[in-house]
Amino acid sequence: MNNNFGIKALAFLLLVVPTLTSCDKCKDDNDPTLREQLKGDWEVKSFTFDGVESIGFVVNSSKMEFEAYSGSNGDFEWFISYKDGTSETQAGDYEVDEADKELELENNEGERIKLDIDLDGDDLELSGIIDGERVIIHAERD
């Protein structure tokens, strides 16, 4: 009788364990990648340099747009309107390193910046070093 119980337990495990693991796999396959989540328009709500807020003081507004990947990267455009009435737009290519959760921007002049990316639904935080200063950018999906 003990042998019969062992066979039933083994049969149960062989049936249930693959089902549980396949459910996890299906869920993972359906989760959008970081680069898919990044696609779209983002309104910058906070833009700090070494802990000092620039939105409302130096910067009037800022928006970022990330196009869908085509090939090995995507196109981006980053618009900044300054309090003194000037503005600038940076455009170029971007790449997302899914494993390290990093975003690399390369503008049309070949300048590159790497930023850590934290994306939770419609909330985006980018952080890193730009021109020797610690920058943290908080944005919301527009």
- Judged by average pLDDT, the poorest of 14-23, 58-67, 92-101 is 14-23
Q: pLDDT at position 30, please?
A: 81
pTM exceeding the 0.75 threshold for the entire prediction? yes
CATH for 34-141? 2.40.128.280
State pLDDT tens for residues 16-60: 444 454 444 444 568 899 999 999 999 999 999 999 999 999 999
Structure-token pair, residue 15: 């049936």
CA torsion angle 41 85 108 130 (round to 10): -80
Is the CA virtual torsion 115, 83, 107, 140 positive or negative? positive
* Structural Rg of the chain based on CA atoms: 23
Structure-token pair, residue 63: 């928006």
* Dist. CA 20–CA 12, nearest whole Å: 12
CA 13 to each of CA 17, 22, 94: distance values in angstroms, whole numbers, following the listed order: 6, 14, 46
* Dist. CA 105–CA 108, nearest whole Å: 10
What residue segments make up the domains of the chain, in order of their start? Answer: 1-31, 34-141
- What average pLDDT is seen over the chain? 87
Which distant-in-sequence residues (6+ apart) come within 8 Å of 119 by Cβ? Answer: 34, 37, 38, 125
* Dist. CA 104–CA 68, nearest whole Å: 15
